[in-house]
Amino acid sequence: MFPRLVYESFRHQTRRKLLAGIAITLGVAVATAMIAVATDIGDKINRELRSYGANLVVTPQEDTLDVEVGGVNLKPPSDGAFLSEADLPKIHGTFWHHNIVGFSPMLPITVKVAGVPKDVTLVGTYFDKALSFGTEKFTTGVRITHPWWKIAPNWPGDESQSVLLGERLAAEVGKRAGDTIDVDGHPLAISGILSTGGAEDDQIVAPLPVAQTILGKPGAVRRVYVSALTKPQDALAVRDPKTMTPEVYDRWYCSPYVQSIAYQLQEAIPHSHAEQIRQVAQNEGTVLSRIKGLMLLVTLAALFASALAVSAAMATAIFERRVEIGLMKALGAGSLVVSAIFFAEALLLALIGGFAGFIAGAFLARQIGRSIFNSQIAIEPVLFPIIMVIAVLVTFAGSAAAIRRAVKFDPVFALRGEG
């Protein structure tokens, strides 16, 4: 009898139930989308923060002091130590290689350019170099690590003899893209003009082999900029790995802190010293935690609003059915049975609405991810049971007051159609 009552009650009066059903679906959809966005926003913003550039720099261990003023290094170019270019792909062999967005080697050398009285810095680097480590193939270079560089019209090839000319230097020597520039007796084609708003505007940026040839040191690299996705630092991150117990060390090593990634880079590249670039690394943690905190609070507001919408709709739907309740009670049904019928109905409604809402919410989260971040927002399958439980709980909570009120209602008044 009970299932039939619930079934019949659920089947009829579809119009009234529709409003409640829509409210549950919408509420759950918003909640699902918000939770999905809030759990993923950290990773998404982390990637956006990479547009500030590299957060780690690797230098030779025994390097001499840089004597650099206004972007011009006064140190003799062959002075000091170098890293070996052949070691660079090993960066992708480190524990956190999936978190390494890209890296760029730099080899600054001082050259003479025809028509410029003072020394000019030429920097050899990767632009979009194809490399491989083991079976893994990847491309890396300044196009990834220095996204604010503007080039007009073309990037040079990594194996070519063409270069980028900084915009202020270009104005000084009166050269344009397509011209040829004479650097220490090497004629180099200008493929594009570079504008960075930094010291590079006075420099020449060339493929790494060009700089190595001019310097006469094949395979040499002065420093490597590494752009990595990191976790905001906490008390564990800043501890010295030498003083850790083995368990703490493992936890530290296996967390993507900027410090542990630096440590692993040092392990991967022989005779190197890796350090965080504090301007970038320190601040991204703060910005990241602020944005995550903001989204968390907004998600709470969204959950609250959805819960309220669901309970308002349920209350209205139940309140309209006093006559039915009056009839049941007049026929001798106890308050418990009446409540049970309504709760069973609410449960059905919550499950159906919750399911539809979850699908709609997943779609919504995907749309948000695609339109704002140009990437997918992953919906964790574990979210589904959580969402369903929330939907049922909220629907019950929303119905409880209305059901109690409806059950207490005097059947005589209800049947007379009053109130």
Residue 298 interacting with another protein (CB under 8 A): yes
The answer to the question of residue 297 lying near another protein (CB under 8 A) is yes
CB 1 to another protein: min, Å = 28
Residue 287 as a binder of another protein (CB under 8 A): the answer is yes
Residues of this chain, 150-169, that bind another protein according to CB under 8 A? 150
Residue 399 engages another protein in binding (rule: CB under 8 A): no
Q: Which of 248, 301, 389, 393 binds another protein (CB under 8 A)?
A: 301
Q: Quick check: 131 binds another protein (CB under 8 A)? A: no
What's the CA gap between 154 and 197, in Å, rounded?
18
Q: Does residue 378 interact with another protein by CB under 8 A?
A: no
Interface residue with another protein, options 12, 176, 271, 290 (CB under 8 A): 290
Buried-exposed string 105-136: b where 16+ CB fall within 10 A, e elsewhere: bbbbbbbebeeeeeebbbbbbbbebebeeeee
Per rule CB under 8 A, is residue 115 in the interface with another protein? no
Selected from 3, 4, 14, 70, the binder of another protein by CB under 8 A is 70
Binding status of residue 294 toward another protein by CB under 8 A: yes
Tell which one of 5, 10, 43, 63 touches another protein (CB under 8 A). Answer: 63
Question: Which range touches another protein (CB under 8 A), out of 263-271, 294-302, 327-335, 346-354?
Answer: 294-302
Q: Is residue 278 within the footprint of another protein (CB under 8 A)? A: yes
Binder of another protein out of 6, 45, 120, 392 (CB under 8 A): 45
In angstroms, what is the minimal distance from the CB of 291 to another protein?
A: 5
**Residue partners of 51: CB distance under 8 A and separation at least 6:** 147, 148
Question: Does 209 engage in binding with another protein (CB under 8 A)?
Answer: no
Does the protein bind another protein through residue 23 (CB under 8 A)?
A: yes
The footprint of another protein on residues 178-207 (CB under 8 A) is 195-198
- Residue span binding another protein (CB under 8 A) among the ranges 3-11, 17-25, 131-139, 156-164: 17-25
| One residue of 10, 75, 138, 360 binding another protein per CB under 8 A | 75
User: According to the binding rule CB under 8 A, does residue 373 interact with another protein?
Assistant: yes
Q: Which residues pair with 69 in a beta bridge?
A: 72
7 sits near another protein (criterion: CB under 8 A): no
Which pair of structure tokens corresponds to residue 354? 């919750």
What residues numbered 134-153 form the site for another protein, per CB under 8 A? 146-148, 150
- The reply to whether 242 sits near another protein by the rule CB under 8 A is no
Which residue's CB is nearer to another protein, number 56 or number 88?
56
The yes or no reply on residue 2 touching another protein (CB under 8 A) is no
43 sits near another protein (criterion: CB under 8 A): no
Residue in the structure block whose two tokens are 């930094």: 198
> Minimal distance in Å, beta carbon 137 to another protein?
28
271 interacts with another protein by CB under 8 A = no
Q: How far is the CB of 337 from another protein (least distance, A)?
A: 20
- 22 or 344: CB nearest another protein: 22
- Calculate helix-pair angle for 383-408, 322-330, nearest 10 degrees: 60
173, 201 Cβ separation under 8 angstroms: no
- The residues near 228 (Cβ < 8 Å, ≥ 6 apart) are 55, 56, 96, 99, 100, 101, 256, 258, 261
* Beta strand pairing call for 72-73 and 68-69: antiparallel
